[in-house]
A and B are shown apart, each in its own frame.
With several copies, the nearest count.
Chain A
Amino acid sequence: MEVLLFGSIAEKAGASILRVEAGSMEQLRTELLMRIPELKEMRYAIAVDKQVVHADRELKGTEEIAVLPPFAGG
């Protein structure tokens, strides 16, 4: 699945899109920490189909995933 990265997270990853294989939110989080170790020290949220998701849940692989650093609008 494609994972969209934004702001400081895209900067750390050196990319704005990652390809990741993950069947659940848990797996996705683990995978992301391996690919972007700096995430451990960062605050971020994960959006699934444009909704922030905190709990674990299955992922089909067709979802739109995004990793979001703290919001800073306004």
Chain B
Amino acid sequence: MSNTGSHKTREIFVEGPIGPAFIAESIAKHSTRTDIGGHEIFLGQVRADATDIGSIGAIEYTAYRDMANEQMIVIREEAFARWPITCLHVYHSLGTIQAGELCFFVFASAPHRREARESVAFVTDEVKKRLPIFGKEILSEGGHQWKRNS
């Protein structure tokens, strides 16, 4: 585990939905980094899917927080080893997120767009695969079921 500014342990979880203003602040912070040429962002939004037993009104997220933050360090190191990116920020919601609200925010910056693009794709996919985050899908008509990433 390296100790550089880019790789240090961070808390990725935030309580409640990720607000557009938070995203704007994250973007604005990068205006002093004039070696950056491109930012790539992925945002996950809770979808009101129709399921066999009703439509999803919200997802209640929980996580094995310490393990998720540790796994995130590993994914970060892999991303920085593979691409010459300048920064990488990842946030995930905990608690109840309504359909239409944002629950996941992946943000990479790099001198050129290809690196930013590829590292966001990688990190988004790996977070979904490797972080112990659990989602209880709350149905609008009452009841719930458990989300699973395919």
Contact = CB atoms under 8 A, between A and B. Distances in A.
A/B: CB atoms within 8 Å of each other: yes
Contacts, number: 69
A69 B133 CA distance: 9
Contact of B66 (A8, A50, A68, A69): A50
Nearest to B134: A7
A71 to B, nearest CB: 6
Nearest to B42: A74
Interface residues of A, number: 14
Interface residues of B, number: 29
Majority DSSP secondary structure for residues of A touching B:
loop
Interface of A: 4, 6-8, 47, 50, 66, 68-74
Interface string B107-133: 000000100000000001001111111
Interface string B26-62: 0000000000000000001000000000000000011
Most chain B C-beta atoms within 10 Å of own C-beta, residue among A4, A7, A50, A71: A71
